[in-house]
A = this chain, B = another copy of it.
Amino acid sequence: MNDGLPIGVLARRTGLAVSAIRYYEDQGLVRPWRNAGGQRRFSRSDLRRLSFVMIAQQFGFTLPQIKAELDKLPGGRTPTKADWARISHSFSKALDEKITALVRLRDNLDGCIGCGCLSLRSCKLYNAEDRAREKGPGPRYLLGDRPE
């Protein structure tokens, strides 16, 4: 009874394709064991790992970034609710910061007269772009750096 879940069950429960779950194993996001016949068996907590992956992806995180988050979970034992609460919390905090930047963009528009931008010197957004420009070549991110 407690011999783990086969991959198809994980797929049905999460909505992921079987091939996607196998790919996630390749990328180190889950670590199933094998049964006597060589088939993957997952623990129930992997349902949670996969849910986390799906959610994080919807927010634009890459698989390596997500792996880095998941790697913060304890290695030897099954993660506790406290482990998960901590990781989710730091995660939603990072998102809150991104959102703050988005709201700031919206609010900054109020300083401009229509668009154009007719009053460039007083436009905070314009200045924000100029400030980003001073940081040198290569892509810069208006929202600050990407996570991790």
Contacts and interface: CB of A to CB of B under 8 A. Distances in A.
A64 to B, nearest CB: 15
Interface residues of A, number: 61
A115 B79 contact: yes
Contacts of A51: 105, 125, 129, 142
Contacts of A78: 114-116
Contact of A114 (B60, B80, B146): B80
B58 A115 contact: no
Contacts of A13: 129-130, 132-133
A136 to B, nearest CB: 10
A80 B117 CA distance: 10
| Copies per complex of this chain | 2
Contacts of A110: 81, 85
Interface string A105-116: 110011011111
Interface centre among A16, A103, A114 (most CB of B within 10 A): A114
A68 interface: no
Interface of A: 12-17, 43-45, 47-48, 51-52, 54-55, 57-61, 78-81, 84-85, 88-89, 91-92, 95-96, 98-99, 101-103, 105-106, 109-110, 112-117, 120, 125-126, 129-130, 132-133, 138-143, 146
Task: Give the 7 A-B CB pairs with smallest separation, nearest first.
Answer: A60-B60, A88-B106, A15-B140, A45-B115, A15-B139, A81-B109, A80-B114
